[in-house]
Amino acid sequence: MTARMINPSSVPVRQSSIRAHNLALLLNTVANSADPPSRAALATVTGLTRATVSALVDDLIAGGLLTELDPPPRTGAGRPAAGLALTAAGPAGLGCEINVDYLAACVVDLTGAVRQRFTEHADQRPAAAPDALAALGRLAARARLAAEAEGLVVAGMALAVPGLVSPAGLVRVAPNLGWQDVDAPALLRGVPEIADLPVVVDNEANLAALGELRVAGAEATFLYVSGEIGIGAGLVIDGELYRGVRGWSGEIGHLTVYPDGRPCRCGSRGCLEQYAGQEALTADEPLAAAALGIALSAAVNLLDVPMIVLGGAYALHFERLRAGIETELRRRVLTAGLAPVTLRAARLGTDAAVRGAADSVIRGVRDDPAGWLRRAG
């Protein structure tokens, strides 16, 4: 039997798929508008009919995703149109972070505002993974309870981890925590107060980069470097996070800066982490700045990124590290004289990863409002 080629344009599209697409189109158009657009304005911008826009907007309002604002005072003939905005009283994202020396949880509403924030400072290295995740789960439960007391509905949970994470959420290795093949979602489901929430797990630098992207606006291509006990990086290209083939890109902390240098927990020697991790940074800032400059120069020569954003502890120490890093960038980056690299501190500071985790949940709602409406209904 001879196979027949099918013209994609002849394949029928389900009505539900069209509706889902248009709901997401309208919600994201409102979210990305500088001023609250009216229904008529949405029809003009999206090309949908006014009747379609009106019906879909009614669904988004009923589902707690949009709110209709009071129209401005009349200044001439005709009735002023009411604008539409994301609601701050609907679904919210629960973001959590486990790092070597702290646990964090926060809740962000659909507008991107932080509604709850909890942190517990404690060394997590002595704790077994189940115990550490149980403690984090309890912190997450506190944040969820406080958010729900405000009338929010937590749509899901995202966890930021300093390690390599598989697409299924398995933490393959987190050297600084001593974890290997830890099923973080399963362990978190053991906390009754959050057991019903969908959970995603990602590398903390990836989520921090996404959090920084949301506040960075037009800065759509940059390398985000997170300085904690360990060091991770997230690469954003044209507004999208680059994860690599297996999702494990960004392990800049294990880039070799001194080949015969200090032994590292990963089993190698001379890794950046041993010279510019948080503990090494406290001991010798000039050496940390130089090591960072060497590693970042290699990254720029390889990737040709126009901007480097320093987060975590680096954001706190940015002004003291800047000169040493920039000295190495000028010395080692091939194109330094043609197109100097912009170096800046993360705008979200040390909150970037936990904020990015919560934002990723909200982004999921915005990208699939039809799915949220089915759940809420």
Instruction: State how far the Cα of 269 lies from the Cα of 3, in Å rounded to an integer.
Output: 56
Q: Enter the pTM of the model.
A: 0.86
- Within its chain, how far is the Cα of 192 from the centroid? 26
Instruction: State how far the Cα of 142 lies from the Cα of 88, in Å rounded to an integer.
Output: 20
Instruction: State how far the Cα of 31 lies from the Cα of 238, in Å rounded to an integer.
Output: 19
pLDDT given at position 6? 40
Instruction: State how far the Cα of 130 lies from the Cα of 121, in Å rounded to an integer.
Output: 18
Instruction: State how far the Cα of 376 lies from the Cα of 118, in Å rounded to an integer.
Output: 27
Beta bridge partners of 120: 103
Instruction: State how far the Cα of 273 lies from the Cα of 139, in Å rounded to an integer.
Output: 28
Beta bridge partners of 116: 107
Residue for token digits 């027949």?
A: 4
The stretches of 47-163 forming alpha helices (DSSP H) are 50-62, 129-149
Beta bridge partners of 105: 96, 118
pLDDT given at position 142? 97
Long-range contacts of 363-368 (CB under 8 A, 24+ apart): 363/210, 364/93, 364/155, 364/156, 365/65, 365/91, 365/93, 365/110, 365/155, 366/24, 366/27, 366/28, 366/31, 366/110, 367/24, 367/28, 368/20, 368/24
102-118 in b/e form (b: 16+ CB < 10 A) is bbbbbbbbbebeebbbb
What six digits make up the tokens of 204? 């903390």
Closest CA to 105 of 352, 316, 355: 355
What six digits make up the tokens of 46? 């999206």
Question: pLDDT for 356-370, tens place per residue?
Answer: 999 999 999 999 999
What six digits make up the tokens of 296? 């970042």
- For CA atoms 341, 347, 351, 356, the dihedral sign is negative
Residue for token digits 């994202």?
A: 93
What six digits make up the tokens of 87? 């609601």
Q: Note down pLDDT in tens along the chain; length 377 residues.
A: 333 444 444 444 467 789 999 999 999 999 989 899 999 999 999 999 999 999 999 999 999 999 999 776 655 555 667 899 999 998 999 999 998 889 999 999 999 999 999 999 999 989 999 999 999 999 999 999 999 999 999 999 999 999 899 888 899 999 889 999 999 999 999 999 999 999 999 999 999 999 888 877 656 899 999 988 889 999 999 888 898 888 788 889 999 999 999 999 888 999 999 999 988 998 999 999 999 999 999 999 999 999 999 998 899 999 999 999 999 999 999 998 898 899 999 998 888 999 999 999 999 999 999 999 998 77
β 102-109/114-121 pair status: antiparallel
Amino acid at position 29, single letter:
T
pLDDT given at position 205? 92
The stretches of the chain forming alpha helices (DSSP H) are 15-31, 39-46, 50-62, 129-149, 184-188, 204-216, 273-276, 278-283, 285-303, 313-316, 318-332, 352-367, 369-376
Residue 332 burial (10 A CB sphere; 0-12, 13-18, 19+): middle
